[in-house]
Amino acid sequence: MQNKAYNSLINSRRKRKFSKDTKIGELIDQFPESAPILMEIGMHCLGCPASQMETLEEAAMVHGIDCGLLVEKINAAAKAMGK
């Protein structure tokens, strides 16, 4: 029974939607395929400590892009990959 609950938790995390409050570090850990999307907006320092604690909203603001569109693009990519 514990195995079934664990698998359910893992599957729910895999299909989690990301939000403006998602931290870059969490995003990269949970959906590493999002790195090219972030690099596309000019976020080339994904591994630096400061970016790990930055939210998608903060990153969008710093890079002058619409946060809603960034989150939408990330979620669409995750959905297309079945995550």
39: which residues sit within 8 A by CB, 6+ positions away?
46
User: Cβ–Cβ contacts within 10 Å for residue 70, how many?
Assistant: 23
Dump pLDDT digits (tens) for 62-82.
Answer: 889 999 999 999 999 999 988
pLDDT of residue 44: 82
The answer on pLDDT for 26 being more than 80 is yes
Half-sphere exposure of 10 (CA within 13 A, CB side): 6
| Residues pairing with 55 in the sheet | 23
User: For the whole model, what pTM was predicted?
Assistant: 0.77
Dump pLDDT digits (tens) for 50-64.
Answer: 888 999 999 899 889
The answer on pLDDT for 24 being more than 70 is yes
pLDDT of residue 15: 58
User: Cβ–Cβ contacts within 10 Å for residue 31, how many?
Assistant: 20
Contact 4, 64 (CB under 8 A): no
26: which residues sit within 8 A by CB, 6+ positions away?
none
pLDDT of residue 25: 93
